[in-house]
């Protein structure tokens, strides 16, 4: 039996400043929304449409990036889709919405969120499912030793 895959990667801009809160147990929670534009052709014209997505970042990752998550900032979000379900308090109807639980956030563009300037900065924040420390990075290996292959060519 094949396993299911729940993976999403989006690049968009924050629609408002991120909001940080904490659970009753003291675990950090960062929430924000992004707008992702797509272009489609209708007749002879190109039309830009925006889709809006709510994103949740759990733990230290959210605490580390909250000050950079301002309206208009471009970010790349990698994570999983989760469906929140609840009962409407007014009429008792069942409601739901899809939220992205981010496992990786990458800050894109310049620090002020604009696209002007000579370069761009990018910061990568990886969120591990557990709070266990990450293993040390492996030392980079040099290129493999070169061998003179010309002696092996039969012509």
Q: What CATH number is associated with residue 118?
A: 2.40.50.140
In a domain, 117, yes or no: yes
Mean pLDDT of the chain: 79
Q: Return the higher-pLDDT residue of 153 and 97.
A: 97
In a domain, 55, yes or no: yes
Task: Calculate mean pLDDT across residues 111-127.
Answer: 44
In a domain, 139, yes or no: no
pLDDT surpasses 70 at 155: no
In a domain, 110, yes or no: yes
Structure tokens at 142: 């040099």
Q: What is the pTM of this model?
A: 0.68
In a domain, 123, yes or no: yes
Q: What is the pLDDT of residue 2?
A: 80
Report how many domains make up the chain. 1
Exposure letters 107-118 (e unless 16+ CB within 10 A, then b):
bbbbeebeeeee
In a domain, 32, yes or no: yes
SS3 154: coil
19 contacts 81 by C-beta, under 8 angstroms: no
Domain that holds residue 1: 1-80+101-130
């Amino acid at each position: 039996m094949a396993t299911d895959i729940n993976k999403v990667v989006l690049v968009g801009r924050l629609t408002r400043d991120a909001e940080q809160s904490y659970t009753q147990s003291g675990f950090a929670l960062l929430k924000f929304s992004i707008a992702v534009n797509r272009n489609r052709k209708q007749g002879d014209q190109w039309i830009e449409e925006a889709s809006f997505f709510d994103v949740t970042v759990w733990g230290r990752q959210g605490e580390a990036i909250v000050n950079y998550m301002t309206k208009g900032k471009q970010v790349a979000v990698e994570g999983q889709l989760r469906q929140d379900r609840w009962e409407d308090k007014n009429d008792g109807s069942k409601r739901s919405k899809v939220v992205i639980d981010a496992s990786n956030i990458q800050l894109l563009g310049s620090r002020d969120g604009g696209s002007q300037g000579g370069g761009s900065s990018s910061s990568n924040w990886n969120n591990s499912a557990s709070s266990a420390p990450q293993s040390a990075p492996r030392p980079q290996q040099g290129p493999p030793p070169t061998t003179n292959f010309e002696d092996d060519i039969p012509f």
